[in-house]
């Protein structure tokens, strides 16, 4: 009896753990660690909804997404999760998210983008379920881009900043120019302060 109870308790804990993992909201910091999208996908198949809670289309999709999550819970077809591109800019740039919602299936070291039209009032849950189970195979299979290195992320940020400065100069938008240069000025001042502090520490003390 005790053994049966222990087995039942363990099963409940495993199920609750799988449920928590399946419904997890991922971000820049934990996406690759949890999904292993570019490093083997040994954690399973992932169906990711790149969506913002404030977007109207995302709000309309939310009930169907929740219902689909319950439908796939016991079948273990895919782990479902959500990423907010507004708070995860590295994932947004990495996967080229340009509109919301964007639904991407990560399966067998490939990624598949859902390109169907989600019409409010239609059977969206059924449409997505058919796609994630079988119809995804008719979508183009793309290689999963690797996570950018910190240096690549820094270089990309500097390129974007340079483009902003150039555009502000061309349009003579001095307010935008000031906003673009303000962070650069802050970094320069911080670097100067650190250099001065280091120079003071190295200065020999007089007896």
CATH number for the domain that contains residue 47: 3.40.30.10
For the segment 84-141, what is each residue's pLDDT rounded down to a tens digit?
Answer: 999 999 999 999 999 999 999 999 999 999 999 999 899 999 999 999 999 999 999 9
Q: Which of 133, 135, 139, 17 is nearest to 71 (CA)?
A: 133
Q: Which of 111, 127, 143 is the last residue of a domain?
A: 143
Q: Which of 143, 167, 190 is the last residue of a domain?
A: 143
Whether 122 and 170 map to the same domain: the answer is: no
Q: How many CA atoms lie within 13 A of 85 on its CB side?
A: 18
The answer to whether residue 3 sits within a structural domain is no
What pLDDT is stored for residue 118 in this prediction?
94
What's the domain range around 195? 150-202
The answer to whether residue 121 sits within a structural domain is yes
Whether 115 and 29 map to the same domain: the answer is: yes
The answer to whether residue 181 sits within a structural domain is yes
Q: Cα–Cα distance between 177 and 162 in angstroms, integer?
A: 10
What pLDDT is stored for residue 30 in this prediction?
94
Whether 55 and 96 map to the same domain: the answer is: yes
What pLDDT is stored for residue 9 in this prediction?
43
Question: Which strands make up the sheet holding 110-113, listed edge to edge?
Answer: 25-26, 79-83, 46-50, 102-107, 110-113, 142-143
Q: How many domains does the chain have?
A: 2
Whether 167 and 124 map to the same domain: the answer is: no
Q: Which residues of the chain have pLDDT under 50?
A: 6-21
Whether 139 and 156 map to the same domain: the answer is: no
Whether 91 and 157 map to the same domain: the answer is: no
Element of type H or E holding 106: strand 102-107
Backbone torsion region of residue 136, taken as left when φ is above 0, otherwise alpha when ψ lies between -120 and 50, otherwise beta: alpha
The answer to whether residue 6 sits within a structural domain is no
The answer to whether residue 2 sits within a structural domain is no
The answer to whether residue 55 sits within a structural domain is yes
What pLDDT is stored for residue 154 in this prediction?
60
The answer to whether residue 16 sits within a structural domain is no
The answer to whether residue 116 sits within a structural domain is yes
Q: Which of 97, 119, 143 is the last residue of a domain?
A: 143
């Amino acid at each position: 009896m005790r053994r049966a109870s222990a087995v039942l308790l363990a099963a409940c804990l495993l199920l609750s753990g799988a449920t928590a993992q399946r419904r997890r909201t991922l971000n820049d910091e934990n996406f690759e660690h949890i999904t292993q999208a570019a490093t083997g996908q040994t954690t399973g198949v992932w169906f990711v909804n790149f969506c913002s809670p404030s977007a109207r289309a995302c709000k309309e999709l939310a009930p169907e997404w929740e219902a689909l999550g319950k439908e796939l819970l016991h079948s273990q077809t895919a782990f479902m999760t959500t990423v907010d591109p507004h708070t995860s800019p590295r994932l947004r740039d990495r996967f080229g998210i340009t509109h919301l919602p964007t639904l991407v299936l990560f399966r067998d070291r490939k990624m598949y983008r859902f390109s169907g039209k989600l019409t409010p009032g239609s059977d969206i849950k059924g449409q997505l379920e058919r796609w994630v189970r079988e119809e995804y195979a008719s979508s183009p299979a793309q290689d999963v881009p690797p996570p950018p290195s910190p240096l690549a992320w820094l270089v990309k940020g500097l390129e974007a900043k340079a483009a902003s400065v150039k555009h502000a100069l061309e349009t003579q938008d001095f307010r935008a120019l000031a906003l673009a240069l303000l962070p650069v000025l802050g970094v320069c001042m911080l670097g100067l302060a650190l250099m001065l502090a280091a120079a003071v520490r190295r200065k020999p003390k007089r007896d």
